[in-house]
Every structure is written in structure tokens, then in C-alpha cells.
Chains A and B, each alone.
Chain A
Amino acid sequence: MGAALALIPRISNALLRFEKRAAIALAASLLLLILLNIVTRELESALFWVDELAIYTMIWMALIGASAMVRMRTGVAVTIVTDLLPLRPRQILARVVDAILLAFAVALVVLSWQWYDPIALIRSGFDFDRFAELTLKFIYSEPTNTIGIPKFWVWLAVPLMSVNMTVHALANLVDGLPSGLESGADTGQSASQELGL
């Protein structure tokens, strides 16, 4: 049990590295897709599927980033009350917040599971029409507008985020307290390098 617990932060860190690479690739793709859109439109041969693909690219980037941020503990939070507390209660509250995030992440996994209902999918022999008949859920029947694949493929970003978030939230709990316990300035650091006036 202890060994398994010790493994979780390592899995989480490996996952975080993967998430960072994916976020970089998706951000680059987003830029290229919008530029492609401008160029093809100016050449009067606009590609009709680019906009939709670009939007999905952004959503995947955002949802992958959202789970990574749980591990990095960078979210905008209101710290007015917690800042007033002495160190010890603040440390306890930090653990409580970690636990709350884990609970929410697990809830998202459960809801995603019910949404995709993989067991009913197997029962229906991966036949999407039969799945809809059996469950009265139409997740597998919904098409995308222009890119020609069923929508459930792009929606997979949500279950993926939920699972990753769960791993990260668990790892945070196993790892213990966030370093330093300084609060508030998280978002401020983002753009704060070299202006060099």
C-alpha cells in the first residue's frame, strides 16, 4: 500500500510532463490553424473545417492545462481570510483544499463514466444506434459540424481531464504541503520576467 502511494506522485509528474508537451503542441496548432484560415480566405479558397478544428484545439489545450494546474497548484483563489490565519491553521486548510479538489475530480470521473457509459457500449456491441436505443443516450450519435468525425471523440477531453485531475489531486495529498505556503502571487508571476527598461 505504502509503495503504491509513493508511486502516485511519480505517475503524476510523468503525466504533467506529457500535459506540458501536449499544451505546447496545441497552442502552436491553434496559431497555425487561425493563420491558415486567414491565408486561405485571402486566396479565396477558404477551408470550411478550420474554424471548428481550431475551437476544439483550444478546448483541449484549456482542459489539459486545467488538470496540469491542479498539480502545479496555480489557480486564482480568494485568500483574504486564509492570509489572516496563523501558519498551522493555514497548513490544515491547504490540506482541506487538496482534499476538496480530489473530491471534485472524482465526481467528474464518475459523471464522465455515466456520460460515456462504456459498459452499455460493450453490451450493445459497439453499435452506436443500439446504444442509443438501449440507454436513450445519444452521445455516440452526435456528429461534429464540419470535421467529419463523431463528436464523442472530441468530448473525450473532459474524461481525460477528469482522470488526470484525480491523479494530480491524489499526488498532491500524498506529497504533503505545498512548498512555502505563500499565497496570492501565483498568477502574478506568469508574465513577470525581463522587461528590462
Chain B
Amino acid sequence: MTAAVFAFLLLVSVPIAFVLLGTALAYIEISGNEVLYQSFPQQLFSGIEKYGLMAIPLFMLAGEMMNRGGLIRRLIGLASLFVSGLRGGLAYINLLANMMMASIIGSATAQISVMTQAMVPEMERAGYTRDFAAATTAAGGLLSPIIPPSMLFVIFGVLGQIAIGDLFIAGIVPGLLLTGGFLLLVAVLGLVRDFPKGQWMTRREAARAAIRGLPSTTVPIIIVGGILLGIFSPTESAAAAALAALLIGRFVHKELNLLDLPEILLRTAFNSTLVLFLIATANVFGWVIIFEEVPQRLTLWLTELSSDPFVFMLLVNAALLVIGAFIDSIAALIVVVPLLLPIAQTNYGIDPFHFGVVVCINLVLGILTPPVGTGLFISATLAGISPGRIFIALAPFLLVTVAVLVLLSWQPWLVTGVLG
């Protein structure tokens, strides 16, 4: 009965946070467990009463400041310095630019809409097919869950009660594997399909791009370095990054107007609300899962299937690919982690960092796969071609991602090795 309410609310397109809220209310009403009503509003509050979650608004703020202050544009200029002359140079630039945007915007769909408009016309002009241009752009969004600061990592860390900073570190090798895999793919495709050759910058242009881009590198250095060296918590690194971006945008680039600040802050507040309110409502939704003994039933079913951790991880991956194809990645993460993480840890002895990295990469795949891949549809709409054609062009990238996922599931040390 409760499941029917959940399905109904979801399908008539009630916002997901309210689906969780309403399902919890319906569950209490149906089960007669009315004592839960007493702590209902308080549980909404305590669901987000967590230090680590402050990283979400602060990273978003840093991203907004970087965008407005011209830092992102210069960082992309700096990155293109190294790859612009290669065969398929623009494709590399696209991937690198996406990586940077991913680390900042934190929402893969938002990023795909920005980048598709910026990169696809440019790549087409340079002689790439539109299919490939759109697919490369969309694939770049897949890097978003692992490049710090990742929203999904912050949320996984809070839900799973593990150190968010360590999760970022655990994501380094998988991030390099995935990025490397994509770059290799572009290189191979470039040879096979004879991509247009890029043009190296002249020495003077290169020097200019380097000098212009240099101040902007402060921000990623603060974030990654601050966390790696243990100077900052992820939350603090986000605040420091926001301040640095503000100062550089205002005083070095002179592009950020202080009068823009209210709008930047408002956007930050509302965008982070989307995530935070979802987490708040997930806290009351958690009751439904707990009292219905969903984890117990699931554990029983899974452990009967196999006792091998690798097989378990493959099953989880398969299930998440399906779930991710239908539900927004953050919402899926919020529902899935409390369900599967305990099973992974206690029944299969899987390291929570290992589990977290694999789950986060996996869930982002869903935005690029039919039937509900929002990223796929945004990309198709903005590029003006059918989702089917983009999907075909995307397939090699998706296969690389799945291959990396299988590799990571099979060899946990690729994730946990750096944690020592």
C-alpha cells in the first residue's frame, strides 16, 4: 500500500522531496504507528543537522563566484594550452572543460546544458560531426561525481557517516582512470575517424593563456590541497575557495561586480535547497524503509544469491543502472545508501569508501541513459538532434565507464589503496 502511494506520487510528477515526505505520512497513517507523528517535524530538521552538509552550499557558492569572476574561462584557456594542437584537440578541451565545470557546478544536468551550448557549435565549426560533439560534451558530465568537490561524495559521506575528505581522496585513482579512459577513447576514435587536427597556440598566445590562467589555479589548489594536506575540512575548503574566487574575480580579473553578490547568493541558496530539502525528507522516509524491514528482506535475498563480494558489487551495479535510469542521481543515492551500505559492510565486508566511489560513479550514468536520462534529453534538445543518435555516439563513453566500474568493483585497492 505504501509502495503504491510512493509510485503514484512519483509518476504524477510530484517533486521528489515531497514524494518522500508524502510516502512517510502515508506510511504512518496506514500502519497506525502514530507515535512517529510526534517527532515528524523535528526529524525533518535533524535530517540536515550535519556539519558535512555545509560543504554543499559553499561549493555551489564557490562555483558561482568562479563562473561570474571569469575564473572558469581562464582555467579552460590554460587547459587548452596543452591539448589544442593534438588530433581531436577540441574534443580533449571539451572533456577537460567539462571536468572543471563538473567539479564546480556539482549538477551534471546543469553542466550539460551550459556546455552543450558552448562547445557543440564550436566543434561543428572545426569539422566534427554534431553527434560526436554532443556526445563528448555529455560524457564529460560523467566525470562530475568523482572530481572534487563532488556533491554526491558529500552526500554519501554524510549518509554513510564516513569522512568526506577521505572519500575525495579515495576518488582520485578512479577519477584518473575514468578521465584517462575517455582521453584514450578520443585518441583512438580520432585515428579511426580522422578527426580534424587542432592548432597549437603561438608562443605568445600560450604565454598569455598561462599568465591569465595562473591566478585562477589558486581555487582548485585550495580545495584539493587543503583537503589532501588536512589543513581544511571539505566544508572549510569550500568557504576558502569561495572567498578566493571572489577576491580574484573582483580584484584580479575585475569581472565580478559586488552588486552581483545578492543574485549569486540567492542562486546558491535555492540550488542547495534542492539537495538539502531532499535529504531532510529522506530522513523521515527512512522510517518506512526501517519499519518495513526492507534491508532485512533485501539482505536475505542477496545473501542467498551469492556470498562473493565481487558478485554482490556487480549485482549492485546492475540494480543501480536501472534505478539511476529512472530517478535523479541524488535522490537515488539518498534512498539507496541506507539500504545497501550496511549490507555491503556487514555481510560482504566491503570497504565503505570503495562502495561509495562505485555507487556514485554508477548513479551518474543514469542521466545519460534512456528512458529518463535528463542529461541525454537536454543534450539532444540543445544540440538539435535525436536522443537516439546521441546515445549511439555516447555508447563508447558509456562502455568505458562500465568497464571502469567493473574494474573498480573487482579490485577494491584501486579505490582504497591511497587511503593507506
**A, B bound:** yes
- A residues neighboring B (CB under 8 Å): 20, 23-24, 26-28, 30-31, 34-35, 37-38, 51, 54-55, 58-59, 61-63, 65-66, 68-69, 72, 74-82, 93, 96-97, 100-101, 104, 107-108, 111-112, 114-115, 137, 139, 155, 157-159, 162, 183-185, 187-197
| Interface residue? B350 (CB, 8 A) | no
Contact A61 B12 (CB under 8 A): no
Complex alpha-carbon distance, A159 and B8, angstroms: 27
B226 smallest CB distance to A (angstroms):
10
A-B contact pairs, 15 of them (CB 8 A): A23-B270, A26-B269, A34-B238, A58-B53, A62-B277, A66-B276, A101-B18, A111-B40, A114-B38, A157-B45, A187-B109, A188-B109, A190-B107, A195-B73, A197-B76
Complex alpha-carbon distance, A42 and B378, angstroms: 45
Contact A187 B54 (CB under 8 A): no
Which 10 pairs show the lowest CB-CB distances between chains A and B? A75-B15, A65-B273, A62-B276, A23-B269, A34-B239, A66-B277, A27-B265, A191-B110, A77-B13, A158-B41
Contact A188 B14 (CB under 8 A): no
Contact A82 B14 (CB under 8 A): no
Identify which of B57, B63, B114, B372 contacts A27 (C-beta below 8 A): B57
Identify which of B41, B61, B73, B377 contacts A112 (C-beta below 8 A): B41
Total A-B Cβ pairs within 8 A: 223
Query: A104-B21, A187-B107, A195-B118 in contact; A78/B38 too (CB < 8 A)?
Result: no
Contact A35 B243 (CB under 8 A): yes
Contact B61 A24 (CB under 8 A): no
Complex alpha-carbon distance, A100 and B331, angstroms: 20
Residue numbers in B under 8 Å from A114 (CB-CB)? 37-38
- B residues neighboring A (CB under 8 Å): 9-18, 21-22, 25, 37-38, 40-42, 44-45, 48-51, 53-54, 57-58, 61, 63-64, 67, 72-73, 76, 97, 101, 105, 107, 109-115, 117-119, 122, 232, 235-236, 238-240, 242-243, 261-262, 265-274, 276-278, 280, 326-328, 330-331, 371-372, 374, 377-378
Contact B274 A76 (CB under 8 A): yes
Contact B22 A197 (CB under 8 A): no
Nearest neighbor of A23 in chain B, beta-carbon distance: B269
